[in-house]
Structure 1
Amino acid sequence: MICVSIAHMPGLTEAIDSGAELLELRLDLIKEAPSKLFPLLPLTLDSIVTCRPGVYNDDERVKLLLEGIKLGADYVDIEIETAPGDLEVLLAAARNSGSKVIISYHNFLRTADKEDLESLMLACYEKGGEIAKIATMVNAPEDIRNLLSLYDLPGKKVILGMGPQGRITRVMGPYLGAEFTFASSGGGGETAPGQLSVKQLNEIYKVIDEDERIR
C-alpha cells in the first residue's frame, strides 16, 4: 500500500484523484487546521497525522496531533524523541480514539550500523508504537543492506532510505513486509529527500506486477 504524504492543499486533491488508500497529513507543513482538512477526506480513505519538529514548538505540535486524533485519524505518527509527558498524553488519546500509533525515528544525515538500527526499532515498540518507522539517509550500499535487514525482525514496520540512493528501499518495502511505503503527491510536494511521486511508484509496481504475471 502506498501512503501519499501531503504538504499542501493542492497535493490533497491530487492524492484523492490518484486513488490513494492512505494519506499522511503533514500538519507542520499544511497551512490549514485539521478541522478544515478532515471534512475533505473521503470516508474510504485512511489517514495518518504527523507534525514534525521545526515549525511549531512542542506544545503546539502536541495540540495539533491531539486535534487530528480527535477528528478520527486512523494513525498518529509520534517522534521517538518526544518528551515522556507529551508521549503519554498522545498515547492515551490514541487508545481512547482507536488510532494506531507509529513511533518514528529520522536521521537526515546518515544511517547507523545494523546493531544500532535494531536497537532504535526496538525502542519504537517499547515507547508504545504498534508500528515502528525508521527513515535514514543512505550514503552507501551498506546502508541499504542494514536498513533492509530490519525486515528479518518481528513487528510491524516501515523502513525507508532517504536520498537518491535510498529510493530502492521505498520501492521494495511492500514486497519485504512493510505496512506501507511513502510517496509524494507530485508537483514538488516531496516531504523527504528521494521521495518518489505516487504516479512514479504506481508505474514501477505496474511493471513489476506485469513481469510476475508473465513468469
Structure 2
Amino acid sequence: MEIYICNFKLGEVPLIAGVLTDTDVLTAKKDSLNPADLIELRVDMFKDISSDHIENIFRAAKENFKKPIIATVRDVKEGGQREIADRLGIYKAVVPLSDVIDVEIGSEDILTEIKKLCNTYRKLLIGSYHNFEFTPDGGFLDSIVAHGKELGVDIVKIAAMAKDREDLIRLMFLTQRHKDAGIITMSMGNKGLPSRVFNPLFGSLISYGYINHPSAPGQLSVSELIYIFRRLKMR
C-alpha cells in the first residue's frame, strides 16, 4: 500500500513530524524546523482557539515553514490539553488548510464526518488511539487497527504507555504485522523511548518530535531524532 503526503512517499525513510502550538508557530525560527519533514499543529494546545486565530495560525505555518501540515484537535480523553466543545467545527475549518487530519478512532462520529471531507479535499486521514496508562494485549491492538481500517482511515496511529520491555516489544511486533496497511506506532514513557527510533524499522511511518516542549511522555526533539536517524544511517 503506497501512501504519499505531498512529495513524500511514506515508508521509504522514517519521516519526522515536529509538534507545534500556536505560540511555536509565531515564535519559532525557521531553522529550528529544518529537521522536520512535516509539522503537526496541536489545536488543543493553542492558547487561543477562536476560529480566526486558528485559521491564521494554519496559514502562517504553511507560509513560514512550507511543510505539510497534520491537523490535530486531540480529545481530552486521549491526551488533549483542553476541553473543546466544537471539535468537529474546528476540524471542518482546518481540513482545507491541512494535508493530513488526525482524529481518534474512538471519536467515531467526528471521524466519520471528517472522512467525507478528506475524500472531498483529497487529504489523508489518520485514525489514532492513545493509552496513557498501559499497553493493551496484541489482540486488542490488532482490533484497533482493524476497526480503524473499517472506518476508512488511511493510517492507523497507536501510542501506548510502556511499563517494561515486553510492552515495547509487543508494539514493535504489532507494527511489523501491519506494516503494509499504513501504521504509526510509539511506546510512551521512558521505557518506550527507543520505539521513537526503532519502530520505523518495523514499519512505523512517522516519528513525532518536539520543537520547544514535549507533547507526550518520552518524546525526543526533532533535532535529536534527525541526529540519531542519520547516525544510524536510517536517513
The normalised TM-score by structure 2 is 0.81
Q: Deviations over 1:140-196 (max 9, x none)?
A: 11111110012222300100100011111111132222221111113xx21111110
Aligned residue for 2:9? Answer: none
Aligned residue for 1:82? Answer: 107
Aligned residue for 1:38? Answer: 58
Q: Please state whether the residue corresponding to 1:28 is helix, strand or coil.
A: helix
Given that 1:6 and 1:26 are in contact with CA atoms closer than 8 Å, whether structure 2 keeps it comes out as yes
Aligned residue for 1:27? Answer: 43
Given that 2:25 and 2:57 are in contact with CA atoms closer than 8 Å, whether structure 1 keeps it comes out as no
Aligned residue for 1:50? Answer: 72
Among 103, 106, 110, which residue is 2:130 paired with?
106
Aligned residue for 2:220? Answer: 196
Q: Please state whether the residue corresponding to 1:35 is helix, strand or coil.
A: helix
Give 1:142-157 correspondences, 5 Å limit. 142-150=166-174, 151-153=176-178, 154-157=180-183
Consecutive unaligned residues of structure 1, counting only runs of 5 or more, are none
Aligned residue for 2:93? Answer: 67
Consecutive unaligned residues of structure 2, counting only runs of 5 or more, are 1-14, 77-81
Aligned residue for 1:182? Answer: 208
* Percent of aligned pairs sharing the same letter: 29
Distance 2:204 2:43 in 1: 24
Which residue identity is paired with 1:26?
A: R
The 3 A distance-change label for structure 1 pair 26 and 15 is farther
Given that 1:21 and 1:44 are in contact with CA atoms closer than 8 Å, whether structure 2 keeps it comes out as no
Bigger CA drift: 88-97 or 104-113? 88-97
The 3 A distance-change label for structure 1 pair 12 and 191 is farther
The normalised TM-score by structure 1 is 0.88
Aligned residue for 1:115? Answer: 139
How far off its partner does 1:82 sit? 0.8
Stretches of 4+ aligned residues off by more than 4 angstroms: none
Quote the RMSD (CA, aligned, Å).
2.0
Which residue identity is paired with 2:230?
A: K
Paired residue total:
206
